[in-house]
Structure 1
Amino acid sequence: MSEKPEAAGRKPIAENRNARRLYELTETLEAGLALQGSEVKSLRDGRVSFKDGYVDVKNGEAFLVGVHIAPYEKTSLFDRPDPERPRKLLLHRREIDRLQAKAEQKGLTIVPVRLYFTRGRVKLEIALAKGKKVHDRRDDLKQKDIARDTARQLAQYNK
């Protein structure tokens, strides 16, 4: 019984790597996801793509838009939901209102960051994000290169 438990009981499904590259993430929040049964089975197989995903708030409800969850092959053709359909996020009213107010005031967007299972439920980590400019991305790459070079030099020095 030397198995190492996942961090805080979370089993990762997928991560939106482009979110950290294209956006500066400011505030994160955990949301539930309203899914159909075959979508959950497909998520267990890790068949999800964030590509152009974002969160849209309409009429006091939050929806995950643009995230592709591939249909589960072993279900009948009639039970397969649309892979690109908007999925409702399960958030409290005050959380939705606060996110919408911040997004409208400061020109931020709400992006999905990570999907994971917690106690058998699918959870989505969303974040308020500000788009990075091209020069900001170049600065990030430059900082990574500098950190890698210094680590390499320290490793050689310590030999």
Structure 2
Amino acid sequence: MNADAFWSNGARDPGLFRFTVKCDRAMNAKIEKAARAAGISASSFVQNFFEKILDQPAVMASAEEIAETRREIETARSCGITVSMLRIHRAMKDGASERGTFADGVGVIAEATGLPPSSIRVMMSKLVTAGLIRRLKSAARGTTGIYHVFSIGDDR
């Protein structure tokens, strides 16, 4: 995570750092709604959360979990995609037929990955661009899209 010194009233304070977090529109809307309900700004709401995250006891990852995460990072990097995109690809691959056809909705992927549906749709488009999935039929009103999911390393 990048930490840059925070500028306050034009003077640099080396004791403060600014962190940037990214979220999609749906998450931003949830944060803003919760902040309004609490009667504070969204920035203050996130700051309050940030100040509390280290109050929770740290959960140490096992050596196996760390190794799996490293493998995911390396695999994603080798494909030119993010780890979240790799997880979406894997969820689609796991849900695909023997012929590689995935016909479930975004909700199935969201449940498998824990990612918000709006992010999944964007990342699926990027997976199409990366050549890891191919759209066979676009989603239409009341129906799900159909995709062919390539195995990583397949000729496309």
TM-score for both structures, normalised by structure 2: 0.20
Higher helix residue share: 2
TM-score for both structures, normalised by structure 1: 0.20
Q: Over alpha carbons, which structure has the higher Rg?
A: 2
- Per chain length, whose mean CA-contact separation is higher, i.e. which structure has more relative contact order (CA < 8 Å, sep 6+)? 1
Higher strand residue share: 1
